[in-house]
Each structure stands twice: as C-alpha cells, then as structure tokens.
Structure 1
Amino acid sequence: MARRCEVTGKGVQSGNNVSHANNKTRRRFLPNLHVVSLISEVLGRDITLRVSSHGLRSVEHNGGIDNWLIKTKDELLSSDALSFKRKIKKALAARAA
C-alpha cells in the first residue's frame, strides 16, 4: 500500500539527516497517515479512507467529506476517493430530480 493521502495526495518526501559533524545521510519523511471513517451526509453512511492529518483538517474546514470531494479535481484524488465522489454526485442528482 502506498504511503499517500487519499484526499490531498500528500506522499513521502526525501531529504538528509545532518549530524553535528555535518555528515549527510539520506532519509525519508513519511506523511502522518490515519485510517479514518468520515460520515457522508449525502450517502448516509461512513466512508473509510487513509488520510493525513492535514487532509483531515482540510476536509473539516470545507464542511465535510461530501463538499471536499465535490470541490476537488479528479486528478488529485485516489481511485477510492474518486469512486465515492461519483456516488455522491449520483445521489445529489437523484435528490434534485
């Protein structure tokens, strides 16, 4: 499983450990990922995603997972998040009709 946030796309970065003697060795900076269940008001059920802490704050700032997925471009979302976005759009279209 890739270490990538399914909401924001935040992934692993690389850099250096720098010692007191200024020796540099390569290291990886991992995103702070959590498996969370977010409540979708449109679908009426929980959506389970692997989200970074930053992504979770962004979702809450935008008013929930439904609003976040509708506003976000398809290229930035994972395949799971994209399938949830399609289901939400379909449910909203059914409500409007």
Structure 2
Amino acid sequence: MSRRCELTGKGPMTGNNVSHAKNRTRRRFLPNLNDVTLQSEILGRGVKLRISASALRSVDHRGGLDAFLAKAKDDELSTNALKVKKEIAKAASAA
C-alpha cells in the first residue's frame, strides 16, 4: 500500500535531521494516514478510504464526502476515489 492520501494526493516528503552539532542526515516526513469509512448521503453507504488527517478535516469542513468529491480535482484523487466520485455524479444526475 502506498503512503499517499486517496483524496488530496499528499505523499512523503524528504528533508534533513539536524543534530545539535549541525550534522545533517536525510529523512522522510510521512503523511498522517488513517483508514476511515466515510458515509455518502447520495449513495446511501459507507466508502472505505485511506486519507490524511488534514483531508478528514477538509471533508468535514466542506460538508461531507459528496461535497468534497464534487469540488476535488480528478488528478489528485486515487482510482478508488475517482470511481466513487463518478458513482456519486451518476446517482445525483439520476435523482
């Protein structure tokens, strides 16, 4: 499983550990990923995603998974999230 947020595309970054003596060694900053089940009101079911903690706050701020995916760019979403976005759009247009 890759260390990448399925909604925002956030992934590992690199930097330096800097000791008191200013010795620099390379390190990785990993995103804070969590396995969550988000409820879709339009689909009427839960969707399991692996997203970052900041993405979870963004989903809450925008008013749920459906609203978040409606505004999200397709190139940032994973294939799983893109599939859910298309299902939601299809169900919303049918209703």
TM-score bucket of the superposed structures, by smaller chain: over 0.9
- The offset of 1:89, in angstroms, is 0.3
CA offsets 1:17-61 (integer angstroms, 9 cap, x no match): 000010000000000000000000000000000010000000000
Amino acid at match of 1:49: L
- The offset of 1:73, in angstroms, is 1.3
| Runs of 4+ displaced beyond 4 Å | none
Amino acid at match of 1:81: A
> Take 1:12 and 1:73, find their aligned partners in 2: how far apart are those partners?
20
Amino acid at match of 1:40: S
**Match in the other structure for 1:88:** 88
> Take 1:8 and 1:60, find their aligned partners in 2: how far apart are those partners?
14
TM-score, with length taken from structure 2: 0.98
**Match in the other structure for 2:13:** 13
**Match in the other structure for 1:61:** 61
Amino acid at match of 1:71: K
SS at match of 2:80: helix
Amino acid at match of 1:84: V
Gaps of 5+ in 2: none
> Take 1:79 and 1:35, find their aligned partners in 2: how far apart are those partners?
16
Determine what percentage of the aligned residue pairs are the same residue: 60
Gaps of 5+ in 1: none
Backbone CA RMSD of aligned residues:
0.5
Amino acid at match of 1:44: G
TM-score, with length taken from structure 1: 0.96
